[in-house]
Amino acid sequence: MKKLIIAICLISVVIFALTSTRSNNPESLKPLNENEFKLWSNHGDTIFKRDSAVAVFEHYEYEYNPNHKNKVILPELCFIQIDDNPDNTIELIRYAHTIHPTTKIQVESKDQYDKINYWKSNFEK
């Protein structure tokens, strides 16, 4: 019985953590203000914050979602976050959104990208 209560508590904590991220707050996803924007830059495909590399632009794609209310084709910018700072994820999205306000933004973790490339390389042999 004690293990069941502990398991329920752990599941509750995980659900709470997953549903209460900063990205649920609309204010956290507004475009960067002028001072915040000055911290960010890019050189080629690399995005920097205070001269530290945060992400790399991977590709641009178009998506069609027939369930979208306007049934439009949506452009999407895809980035791979290369630093290990989760606090930079939302700011990276905001930076890209400031420059491209009507484009969908996707950020993948470097770890996820490394796993995909690992599996792709094994299939190519």
DSSP labels for 31-88?
Answer: PP-HHHHHTEEEETTEEEETTEEEEEEEEEEEEE-TTSTT--EEEEEEEEE-SS-THH
Domain locations along the chain: 27-123
pLDDT category at 107 given cuts 50, 70, 90 is very high
What is the amino acid identity at position 13?
V
Average pLDDT value for residue range 58-75: 85
Residue 95 has what pLDDT? 93
Residue 69 has what pLDDT? 79
Name the DSSP letter for residue 108: E
Are 60 and 76 contacting, i.e. CB atoms less than 8 angstroms apart? yes
Query: Is residue 39's pLDDT more than 70?
Result: yes
Residue 20 has what pLDDT? 43
Q: What angle do CA 124, 109, 34 make, to 5 degrees?
A: 135
Residue 19 has what pLDDT? 40
Comparing 26 with 35, the larger pLDDT belongs to 35
Query: Is residue 81's pLDDT more than 80?
Result: yes
pLDDT category at 18 given cuts 50, 70, 90 is very low
